[in-house]
């Protein structure tokens, strides 16, 4: 029987991919406080907003694929369920931090850093 920890990682990865696809093909057209990649930097103007939506959606899909592959690897390697919990959580945190740092860095690179 498969461990639930592997399923969780695969499901989370799938959610990331699906959400990334939705954000990529149906990005929010206007700056809002409800839907989309919302940071102080991305909400400064519409040009930054539009760039941030597409860019973060691509990264979100990439992060989702990494999570799915990790979950599948857990099945194949038959890792200890407790190890998979820790690895999955740490991996998720690292990927979310990566997504934010990379998106913010590239917004600043493309538009310049404003105070």
**How far apart, in Å, are the Cα atoms of 12 and each of 42, 55, 71, 105, 114?**
25, 20, 9, 25, 34
Q: Is 107 a residue whose pLDDT tops 70? A: yes
The candidate with the shortest Cα–Cα distance to 103, out of 45, 61, 67, 58, is: 58
As a whole number of angstroms, the distance between CA 113 and CA 115 comes to: 7
pLDDT-based confidence at residue 1 (cuts at 50, 70, 90): very low
**Confidence (pLDDT) at 6:** 65
pLDDT digit string, tens, across residues 29-86: 899 988 899 999 999 999 999 999 999 999 999 999 999 998 888 888 887 878 888 8
- Lowest mean pLDDT segment, chosen from 5-9, 40-44, 93-97: 5-9
Distances (CA, A) of 73 to 4, 22, 76, 79, 107: 14, 26, 5, 9, 33
Q: Residue 4's pLDDT is what?
A: 60
pLDDT tens digits, 20-30? 999 999 999 89
Q: What's the pTM?
A: 0.85
């Amino acid at each position: 029987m498969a461990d639930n920890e592997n399923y969780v990682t695969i499901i989370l990865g799938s959610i990331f991919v699906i959400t990334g696809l939705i954000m990529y093909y149906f990005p929010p057209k206007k700056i809002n406080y409800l839907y989309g990649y919302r940071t102080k930097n991305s909400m400064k103007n519409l040009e930054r907003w539009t760039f941030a939506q597409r860019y973060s959606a691509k990264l979100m899909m990439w992060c989702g694929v990494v999570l799915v592959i990790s979950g599948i690897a857990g099945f194949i390697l038959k890792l200890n369920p407790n190890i998979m919990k820790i690895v999955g959580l740490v991996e998720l945190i690292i990927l979310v931090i990566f997504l934010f740092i990379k998106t913010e860095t590239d917004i600043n690179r493309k538009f310049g850093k404003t105070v």
